[in-house]
Amino acid sequence: MTAIEKSDDSVGIQKAEVPLPQETLEAFGGDELRARVFYEKYALRDINGKQVEKTPEKLWLRVAKELASVEESSKKQEWTDKFYWLLEDFKFVPGGRILFGAGQPRRSTLLNCYFFKIKEDSIEAIFDWCKEAARTYSFGGGVGTDISVLRPRGSPVNNSAIYSTGSVSFMELLSTTTGTIGQAGRRGALMITIRVDHPDVLDFINVKKDLKKVNYANISIKITDEFMRAVENDTDFELAFKNERIDFRKTVRARDIWKQLVKAAWQSDEPGLLFWDTIKRDSTTEYNNMEVQGVNPCSEQTLENYGCCCLGSVNLSYFVNEPFTERASIDWDGLVKASQYATRFLDNVLDYNADRHPLQQQRQASLWSRRIGVGITGLGDMLIKLGLKYDDEATVDFVDKLFERITNVIYGYSTELAVEKGSAPAFQADKHLAQPFIQRLDEGVKEKIMTHGIRNSALTTVPPVGSGSILAACSSGVEPVFALSYTRRSKSLSEGEFKVFHPLVKEYMQVHRITDEAQLPSYFVTSHQIKPEMRVKMQAAIQKHIDTAISSTVNLPQDTSPEEVEKIYFLAWKLGCKGITIYREGSREGILETNQVEKKAEKSAEFERPKVLTGRTLKLKLPQGGLYVTANSDEAGRMKEVFVTLGKLGGDEKADAEAIGRLISLYLQHGGDVPSVVKMLKGIRGKYVSWDEGVQLLSIPDAVAKALEVLVAGRVTKEAATPLVQGGTCPDCGESAIIFEGGCYKCSSCGYSKCE
């Protein structure tokens, strides 16, 4: 979808649910969620948009055949068969763009994301970036960038402004560019980073306190070892910006920056932290114009300028013999074969996609370094099948050895590909072998790299596997199981709500003939039950064997203090993580929480109104008269009162409007949230339909809902990015089932993923 086309995000329009063919539903054993993710996201469509694939077998064959097409003629059928084996039963889950784009008649890149920088500190360079980003979004790719090159606020400029508004002031432009270009009803994904020693770092930390700003971007700070030591020792830290025209420096107390950073993350989970010196130190590509300069939108790929994400994940859950028994073991023959085939598969994607990049520079970078990302998913499920508890020290040691072996298998196979097809053009043996990460590989693998070279300059990653993990019916990435079950609403009013078990839980209960999840063994541990330090230890153990980075989320209970967040950050830095992402329950409205948080809301104390509340009033024009909606908030910014006034005094509609306001106030004062109010009222149709400045108003309740949206978020919207960044219901299915996992938002009800 181009910028001038309209999606179904406009006010008042609801996306119609596509009927599922019976054979599709049967192919997934009656699992409607998995079937719908396949049919609506990945099943091939013809040029008119009609689905032509109804079963996953058709998808596996299409993707296998397309990716084998770059092989020599004599090997095409061999690798079609081998790739089909790899894809069959979701042993391997390629990135969403690969599943969607292979054999696709439309213009589409098979690569999920790219990084490219703003080339210099100038207006021209900023708008050049916007142009390149817009083209990338139009092909379906996400973008990462860095604004550290832009001069700080208050520095001189050679135009009528006299002084610069600063690097942070341009973030809204980058965000708006991202939100403008649609991708099949979605918005593009963007990551904006800045160095911690940039003079605008405090503005960057606080930019998202205004909920109307930078809605279409994730933000992270590149943290240096020098800064962390200054925080640890409570010493001063220099903020500096220098180019050929400007030398701007100032000294601050490191802990002043640190406290604001921690507070912002504690309140809203942003900005994220990237330990940049660790990233650079452990990069395998710090030579020959492959040096990493930034990250993709989910931060699992550290990338050179114009570098790309060529990703896919081996499903560890599949490779367990005799699961749930004392004889359970890893199927190493199958896992080794899958890891090798996955390496070749992703290497082939680079050649298959060579002429499908949005920009020529992206093509050149991808073929110069031949960077790929063989990831994994289903770790949480594998551990449960093996009877291992995720948060035991012994399990961390087991996972450390597991990833060490997998990584050496992948690296060893890339050297075999180098013999067969040639090394990456950028490869230089002495410089590559000098990288600390390469030095940790097995001696035999290092010898092969010295003798034969290597096909891919970087090989391993852990991406968020959102809808892909739903397709494969497994836990996402290296995350533990998020929840053992969740509740869904039935389409039939007579059936009400029903419980849906995690596929692994359902499998175990069937094998052992139990019906109550309380009977599950203790190693069925969920993300909210695991101590944060154990999550960090697990991530650090895996990071040792990942040459790029890991997308993972440390889930924290609602009552976690800022001081505890600090401890998590320091532990992650000291243990060698390349980044860290937290999510504190309740810190964003609308994100799916555990029962503990819901119970706290139910037991909330009686609201005691302070003498003064701060509020704003919005007026909308209705056929019945002017509708005035006033929303008052407490000192923490939480909406607690809503007054709704309509037209002149008297009349039933006036009374109804006042009643709506009173009921909303009562709900908010007893633990309710604004997105739930909006969801309940929005879309109710009445006798009159009107418009006010482009917003369709269907009734008094609908107008109240849209007024609340404007008062909270600055606009009426059904766009995907805004409610997920600020908290809200799923933009696809409307369920309050958004979870934050693997550094990304996804819906546990319909499979929507912001990152795919």
- Count CA within 13 A, CB hemisphere, residue 353: 35
Identify the H or E element spanning 183: strand 182-183
Between 235 and 518, the higher pLDDT residue: 235
Q: What is the pLDDT of residue 601?
A: 43
Q: What is the pLDDT of residue 55?
A: 96
Q: What is the pLDDT of residue 518?
A: 87
Q: What single-letter DSSP state applies at residue 122?
A: S
Q: What is the pLDDT of residue 275?
A: 98
pLDDT of 726 over the 60 cut: no
Among 111, 53, 603, 67, CA closest to 366: 111
pLDDT of 9 over the 60 cut: no
Q: What is the pLDDT of residue 600?
A: 44
pLDDT of 590 over the 90 cut: no
Q: What is the pLDDT of residue 108?
A: 82
Q: Encoding tokens for residue 334?
A: 């199958």
Q: Encoding tokens for residue 487?
A: 């509740």
Which of 616-630, 680-694, 726-740 has the least mean pLDDT? 726-740
d(C-alpha 161, C-alpha 159), whole Å: 5
d(C-alpha 544, C-alpha 537), whole Å: 11
Amino acid of residue 421: K
Which of 86-100, 393-407, 412-426, 724-738 has the least mean pLDDT? 724-738
Band (23; pLDDT cuts 50, 70, 90) = very high
Q: How many CB atoms lie within 10 A of CB 443?
A: 7
Among 312, 279, 242, 299, CA closest to 92: 312
For residues 139, 141, 144 and 147, what is the CA-based torsion angle, rounded to 10 degrees?
20
Among 668, 673, 520, CA closest to 607: 668
Distances (CA, A) of 668 to 209, 455, 640, 662: 21, 58, 5, 10
Band (2; pLDDT cuts 50, 70, 90) = very low
Q: What is the mean pLDDT of residues 261-278?
A: 93
Distances (CA, A) of 205 to 168, 200, 221, 309: 10, 9, 8, 27
Q: What is the mean pLDDT of residues 649-667?
A: 85
Asked whether the beta carbons of 455 and 422 are under 8 A apart, the reply is yes
Proportion of the chain above pLDDT 70, given as a percent: 88
Among 619, 588, 587, CA closest to 710: 619
Q: What is the pLDDT of residue 186?
A: 56
d(C-alpha 435, C-alpha 439), whole Å: 6
Asked whether the beta carbons of 729 and 719 are under 8 A apart, the reply is no
Strand 142-146 with 113-115, pairing = parallel
pLDDT of 420 over the 90 cut: yes
Q: What is the mean pLDDT of residues 117-143?
A: 94
d(C-alpha 334, C-alpha 412), whole Å: 16
**What's the count of helices (H) and strands (E) in the chain, helices before strands?**
27, 28
Chain-centre distance for alpha carbon 159: 39
Q: Encoding tokens for residue 539?
A: 């991530």
Identify the H or E element spanning 633: strand 625-633
pLDDT of 71 over the 70 cut: yes
Q: What is the pLDDT of residue 131?
A: 96
Proportion of the chain above pLDDT 90, given as a percent: 63
pLDDT of 744 over the 80 cut: no
Strand partners, 375: 313
pLDDT of 163 over the 50 cut: yes
Rg (CA), the chain: 26
Which of 515-519, 531-535, 559-563, 594-598 has the least mean pLDDT? 594-598
d(C-alpha 109, C-alpha 263), whole Å: 38
| Secondary structure (DSSP) of 472-526 | TTS--TTPPBS-SEEEEE-SSTTT-EEEEE-HHHHHHHHHHT---GGGS-TT--B
Q: What is the pLDDT of residue 70?
A: 97
Strand 247-253 with 272-275, pairing = unpaired
Q: What is the mean pLDDT of residues 61-79?
A: 98
Between 715 and 677, the higher pLDDT residue: 677
Q: Is the peptide bond before 623 cis (omega within 30 degrees of 0)?
A: no
- Backbone φ and ψ for 644, nearest 5 degrees, come out as -120, 120
Q: Which residues neighbour 749 within 8 Å (Cβ) at sequence distance 6 or greater?
A: 33, 486, 488, 730, 733, 735, 737
pLDDT of 495 over the 60 cut: no
| Most confidently predicted of 101-115, 181-195, 588-602, 637-651 | 101-115
Among 182, 289, 361, CA closest to 731: 182
Asked whether the beta carbons of 441 and 288 are under 8 A apart, the reply is no
Q: What is the mean pLDDT of residues 45-68?
A: 93
Which of 9-13, 225-229, 553-557 has the least mean pLDDT? 9-13
Q: Encoding tokens for residue 57?
A: 């077998």
* Angle, CA of 344, 349 and 350, to the nearest 5°: 100
* Angle, CA of 14, 19 and 20, to the nearest 5°: 135
Q: What is the pLDDT of residue 723?
A: 37
pLDDT of 721 over the 90 cut: no
pLDDT in tens, 355-366: 999 999 999 999
d(C-alpha 746, C-alpha 465), whole Å: 10
pLDDT in tens, 613-626: 888 898 998 888 88
Q: Is the peptide bond before 271 cis (omega within 30 degrees of 0)?
A: yes
- Backbone φ and ψ for 190, nearest 5 degrees, come out as -140, 140
* Angle, CA of 49, 50 and 54, to the nearest 5°: 130
pLDDT of 293 over the 70 cut: yes
Q: What single-letter DSSP state applies at residue 217?
A: -
Between 676 and 84, the higher pLDDT residue: 84
Q: What is the mean pLDDT of the chain?
A: 87
Q: What is the pLDDT of residue 498?
A: 57
d(C-alpha 281, C-alpha 575), whole Å: 14
Between 80 and 180, the higher pLDDT residue: 80
d(C-alpha 154, C-alpha 580), whole Å: 31
pLDDT of 17 over the 60 cut: no
pLDDT of 382 over the 70 cut: yes
Between 680 and 136, the higher pLDDT residue: 136
Q: Where are the alpha helices (DSSP H) in 516-594?
A: 532-543, 562-574
| Secondary structure (DSSP) of 710-734 | HHHHSS----SHHHHHH--S-TTT-
Band (650; pLDDT cuts 50, 70, 90) = low
Q: Where are the alpha helices (DSSP H) in 115-245?
A: 123-138, 171-180, 201-206, 225-233
Asked whether the beta carbons of 409 and 339 are under 8 A apart, the reply is yes
Q: What is the mean pLDDT of residues 273-285?
A: 98
Q: How many CB atoms lie within 10 A of CB 288?
A: 17
pLDDT in tens, 24-42: 999 999 988 899 999 988 9
Strand 272-275 with 218-223, pairing = parallel
Identify the H or E element spanning 321: strand 320-321
Q: Where are the alpha helices (DSSP H) in 375-422?
A: 379-385, 393-421
- Environment class of 257 (CB within 10 Å of its CB; exposed 0-12, middle 13-18, buried 19+): buried
For residues 137, 140, 145 and 150, what is the CA-based torsion angle, rounded to 10 degrees?
-10
| Most confidently predicted of 57-71, 167-181, 466-480, 664-678 | 57-71
Q: What is the pLDDT of residue 588?
A: 61
pLDDT in tens, 331-342: 999 999 999 999
Between 149 and 680, the higher pLDDT residue: 149
Q: What is the pLDDT of residue 713?
A: 76
Chain-centre distance for alpha carbon 582: 13
pLDDT of 282 over the 50 cut: yes
Q: What is the mean pLDDT of residues 409-415?
A: 98
Q: What is the mean pLDDT of residues 275-283?
A: 98
Block residue for tokens 């633990």: 671
Asked whether the beta carbons of 449 and 415 are under 8 A apart, the reply is yes
